[in-house]
Amino acid sequence: MSLETDKYNFFKPGEQWRDTDNNIIQAHGGQVQQLIFTDSKTGNTVKKWIWVGEDKSSGARGGIRMYSSDDLHNWNSEGIVMRNVPSREALENDEYFKSVYAGYSEEQLDNVFRSLDAGSAIIERPKMIYNEKTRQYILWFHADGPTDTSNSSYAAACAGVAVSDYPFGPYRFVDRYRLNVCPDNQKDMHPSSKGMARDMNLFVDKDGTGYIIYSSEENLTLYISKLNEEYTYLETSPDKAVYGRDFIRLFPGAQREAPAVFEREGKYYLISSGCTGWEPNQARYYRSDAVFGDWENMGDPCVGDMKHTTFDTQSTCVFKDSTGRYIYMGDRWNSKNLSDSRYVWLPVKFTQDGNMLLEWQDKW
Ligand code: GAL
C-alpha cells in the first residue's frame, strides 16, 4: 500500500485490512483515539490517530501492537509495543527485555514472566490512556492465564497494567491485579472467586477521572471502578473501597462483556455483548446521566440485524472522529484462525432522543 493510488479512502467492514507495509492489521479487541505528542524521530509535534490491539498473528497468544494514522483509513505499523516473554531467561539475556525491565528485582521479573509468558499468558483487549500529570501513557489489558491452583487459561482473571513515556512504547509491565469485590450486603454472583476482572475497557470522564469497566464475578456482573490520579491502579484498594464512591456493580447475573463506554451530549453510553466466547451474539447498550449513575437498559442498537449477532461482531470501542461522528469498532472473530479475525467499523447514528442506532454498511 505504499503507492499513493493504493491508499484506502473508505471503510469496508469485515474485509481484509492491510497496513501501509501491506501486512494484515493485527489490532484485535482494540481501541482508537487521537493524541498530540512529540514524534521521537522528527522532534515535531504531531496529531495522530492511534490504534492499539491484540497481535494475533501467531494465534491466541501474542503481545500488544499499535498503528498510527492521519485519516483512520491508512495505518502505519508502530510494531509490538508490549512484548510477551518467550522464557524467564530472556528477561535477563535479551537486550530488549534487559532495557525495558532494568532495575526490576528477581521477584518482579518472576511476576513479569508469569503474567506475560508467551506459552501461557492471555493478553487481551488492551486500552491505553494518557495521563497529563505524569505524562505517561498507561496501558491496561485483560491479563489472564493459569495459576498455581488451576491449569485453566482463564484462571487468573486479572487486569494488567503497563506504562511508557512514549505512545508507541516500549511499555513496561507493572503488575496484574484482581479488582473490587461484591459488598457483603449485596448478592455476589460468584462468591468462590473474588475480584475477577476479564473483558475490560477504560474511560476518562470530562473531569479527568479515569475508570476501568470490566466483567467480574465469572463474567456475570460488570463493574466500573475508579482509577487513581496516575491511572496506574485503583483509586482505593479493594479492601478499603466504598461501594458507590469507588466502584459500582452493574446488571448482576446479566452476563455482559466486551464493554465500551463513551459520552455524548452529557449522556454516558455503555455497549456490551453477551458471553459466547469467540461466537458473536446480540449487543445491548445502557445509558446513564453519570458514570456512577443509574444505567438504563436500552436494548439492542442494531437495525436490520436479522441474525441478532451485532452483524457478526463483538464490541470493543466507540470513538468520535474529527467530524464529531461516533464510530463503533467491533471484532468479527474467526475462532478457527484468530489471526484472520476481521474488523467491523460502523458509523453510529442517534435519534433525537439520543437512542443509539447501528446499521450495516458494505462500504462507507
Ligand atoms: C470472549 C471475550 C474475548 C476472548 C474470548 C475467548 O468472550 O470477549 O476477549 O476472551 O471470549 O474465548
The finding on whether 257 has its CB within 6 A of some atom of ligand 1 is: yes
pTM equals: 0.97
Measured distance between the N- and C-terminal CA atoms of the chain, rounded to whole angstroms: 19
> Quick one: pLDDT at residue 6?
76
Q: Is the CB of 275 under 6 A from ligand 1?
A: yes
pLDDT of residue 29: 98
Which residues of the chain are under the pLDDT cut of 50?
1-5
- Ligand 1 centroid to residue 317 C-alpha, Å: 15
- Check if the beta carbon of residue 91 is closer than 8 Å to that of residue 118: no
Tracing cell 491466541 back to the chain, one arrives at 60
Which candidate, 323, 319, 339, places its Cα nearest to that of 331?
339
Residue nearest (by alpha carbon) to ligand 1 atom 5: 277
Indicate the top mutation candidate among 61, 122, 199, 331 to test ligand 1's pocket, ranked by most ligand atoms within 8 A of CB.
199
| Start-end of H helices in 31-174 | 90-93, 95-100, 106-116
pLDDT of residue 226: 99
Task: Tell me whether strands 356-359 and 302-303 are parallel, antiparallel or unpaired.
Answer: parallel
Q: How far is CA 80 from CA 165, 171, 254, 260, in A?
A: 15, 9, 35, 23
Of 297, 302, 300, 291, the closest CA to residue 267 belongs to: 291
- What integer pLDDT is reported at residue 220 of this predicted model? 98
DSSP 167-210: TT-PPEEEEEE------TTS--S-TTSTT---SEEEEE-TTS-E
Q: Is the shortest distance between the CB of 55 and ligand 1 below 6 Å?
A: no
Q: What is the pLDDT of residue 216?
A: 99
Nearest CA to ligand 1 atom 4: 277
Q: From the CA of 69, how far away is ligand 1's center (Å)?
A: 27
